Amino acid sequence: MQPNTPVGIIGLGLMGTVLSERLIRADLPLIGFDIEPTRRENLKTTGGIVASSVSELAGRSATIIIAVYSGEQVEALFGELENAAGPARPIVVCTTTCRPDEITRLARRATNAGISFVEAPLSGTSAEVRDGTATALLAGDADVIESVSTLLDIVCPRRVRVGAIGDASRTKLAINLILQNNRAALAEGIAFAERLGLDGRAFLGAARESAAYSRVMETKGDKMLTRDFRPQSHISQTLKDAELILEEATRRGLLLPMTTTQAELLRAAIALEGPDSDSAAVIEAIRQRPAATEVSR
């Protein structure tokens, strides 16, 4: 990574913004692009350079981080990267959670275009990325990953190598399955404790000391108690990942009953709280759902 060559970042939503903040704090020159003018302006006010297009960014960057919403969006912008990158082809680090087949197809396109490619979905919320406690799941050529190690040290100090391209997306989806169901279980437990007449904060404190403990109690427990649904991760993104998980399971003939139910809760919570609310809002799908008819004794 040349000291005076900007790092490029495409996608300046929740995750792209905190990745940008970490790079700017490290005094790396950063050039970014997003289709939303407000997001571009926010990058400019925090010390980044704003590109007018993906093509301009690709022509000026030796390393490009992709942090857009979906695999479809990554594929849509990849043609511009292929056509606009200069003779010294960039290294692309893709942090977007994609379908395994999408990411392998993108990696093949990158190879054919002479672009080095690192798969690096992030496990953690934007708040965890900001404070350095999220984990990057890395897949790809070991030498290419090593060549961007300094950049990775800045954007996500915690990381795990998980294998070949596609394995990081598979790992991320399986991790998200556990995480999302842990979050839904916590929401149901808090709603149940509240309905029993327990003080919610006292209950959460007891749960944190119990055998039921999970890290989601730290990241989402207080937000659920106080109905603070300002986003650290958009619930619409959570649902998108849940649907990816269910699609992959269906392709392999596997029924996931807990995740199926959890996805239904996410859809109900989005109807109640909106798609841009935090994933902790899943609790409202439980708090506000009418009780089932009482079973006769």
List, for residues 83-126, the tens digit of each pLDDT value. 775 666 789 999 999 999 999 999 999 999 889 999 999 999 99
**Of all residues in the chain, what percent carry a pLDDT higher than 70?**
95
Chain-centre distance of CA 29, in angstroms?
Answer: 24
296: exposed, middle or buried (Cβ count in 10 Å: 0-12, 13-18, 19+): exposed
Tell me whether strands 158-163 and 135-139 are parallel, antiparallel or unpaired. Answer: parallel
Contacting residues for 90 by C-beta, under 8 A, at least 6 apart: 8, 58, 61, 62, 63, 64, 81, 115, 116
128-186 pLDDT, tens digit each: 999 999 999 999 999 999 999 999 999 999 999 999 999 999 999 999 999 999 999 99
**pTM of the model as a whole:** 0.90
Percentage of the chain beyond pLDDT 90 is 87
Give me the helices (H) in the chain, please.
Answer: 14-25, 37-45, 54-60, 71-84, 100-112, 126-131, 142-147, 149-155, 167-195, 200-208, 216-226, 235-251, 257-273, 282-287
Task: For 242-253, write each residue's pLDDT tens digit.
Answer: 999 999 999 999
Q: What is the mean pLDDT of the chain?
A: 93
Burial of 216 (0-12, 13-18, 19+ CB in 10 A): buried
**DSSP letter, residue 282:** H
CA distances (Å), origin 49, targets 17, 63, 88, 121, 221: 13, 15, 21, 24, 37
Per-residue confidence at 207, pLDDT binned at 50, 70, 90?
Answer: very high
